[in-house]
Structure 1
Amino acid sequence: MSTIETPFFGLDFPGYVDPRVPYWHLGMHMNMDITRFLVEGREQQYLRHFFRDFAYNPQAMPEEEVALYVMQMKQPGNLRANLNHYGYIPQMAEQTAELAKEKLKVPMLAWGGSHSFGSHCFDSAKAISVNASGGVIEECGHWVFEEKTQFISEELQAFWKRAGRGQA
């Protein structure tokens, strides 16, 4: 199992901070109808904020790719569908808390960007898996695949290769 820049909800270990505390948008997005009301018609400004401000390198996401995301989000029903992920956070936290009572036996790879979730991803992976690897990617924000493409591709390939041999 691999997870890149993924927040973990519902865990309980020393030093754990629920991601809803430091990341304002998670709580806001959980209120899907209010968020939709505030964002509709402003999709470009809203998405640009996330692609620029949640990056270590604000230019990592080219303007033409931002425009594609904006075009998709403006399609009927897409904004609401995107917010459904956030609306599910309370249930996700409950399920994760229940599942984490016994550590996972499968290998787990977890990376977080130094200027985003940082050690949260790897620390959470260590708390829920007997075989966790990964860490913090320096000079990287939330958009790992855009900011550190080569690094994360190599890490994933090596992990899957080790996992295929039962050595991850």
Structure 2
Amino acid sequence: MVALPQAAIYRDAVTHLAVLDVPLPGWSQWEATTAKIWHFAFHANRDLPERLIYGREHDYVSTFMAERFYDHSTFNPEDIDIYAKAMALPGRTRGGMEWYRTLTADHAAALEYKKQPLRIPVLGLGGEQRFGAHMVAMLREFATDVTGGSIARCSHYVADERPDEVAAALIDFLKAK
């Protein structure tokens, strides 16, 4: 969601692009897909998430992350604690929510990027339990040279749940192009 605009704006500086398990603003299925993902709308509300999450960061983080795991042994309680403590620091929750609050503008900008497809190699990987089945077709709306697909036994956190598979795919992608 950040890398695609970077590649579209700084075309001379970006030689390869890899996108891992996210729906992209500008995608033809953006509205239909994000309407089904509760946290996009919740996080976009001004001040509400911050008020409801404050003091409950651990509960929020542990629940939020758990619903995006395929393999629940991927993150241990200490990992969750690190994320929750980081979220509890001043300004961190608001900063995280602000990212979602820009998605409407990001979508409009991405529709413009699609008018000049990227010509660099693009890799799209996603968990088979999340966006894996959509990554290649979605990215083909933005670029002409797209490879990738689903990672088995995986949900949203592909680099955490299947680090060896992701690393191998990235290495192969970078070596081949």
TM-score by length of 1: 0.90
Equivalent position of 1:42 in the other structure = 56
Equivalent position of 1:6 in the other structure = 22
Equivalent position of 2:76 in the other structure = 62
Q: How many residues in Structure 1 have an aligned counterpart in Structure 2?
A: 160
Deviation at 1:118, TM superposition (A): 2.9
Equivalent position of 1:166 in the other structure = none
Equivalent position of 1:82 in the other structure = 96
Decide whether the 8 Å contact of 1:113 with 1:142 is kept in 2.
yes
Equivalent position of 2:164 in the other structure = 150
- Give the letter for the 1:67 counterpart: D
* Structure with the higher strand share, 1 or 2: 2
Equivalent position of 2:3 in the other structure = none
- Give the letter for the 1:124 counterpart: M
Q: Compute the RMSD of aligned alpha carbons.
A: 1.3
TM-score by length of 2: 0.85
Deviation at 1:68, TM superposition (A): 0.5
Deviation at 1:127, TM superposition (A): 1.8
Equivalent position of 1:140 in the other structure = 154
Query: Out of 111, 118, 123, which is 1:104 matched to?
Result: 118
- Give the letter for the 2:21 counterpart: E
Identity of matched residues, % = 26
Decide whether the 8 Å contact of 1:52 with 1:59 is kept in 2.
no
Structure 1 residue runs of 5 or longer lacking an equivalent are 164-168
Deviation at 1:120, TM superposition (A): 2.5
Q: Provide the C-alpha distance between the structure 2 equivalents of 1:55 and 1:123, rounded to a whole number of angstroms.
A: 23
1:117 aligns with 2:103: no
- Give the letter for the 1:91 counterpart: A
Deviation at 1:139, TM superposition (A): 1.2
Structure 2 residue runs of 5 or longer lacking an equivalent are 1-16
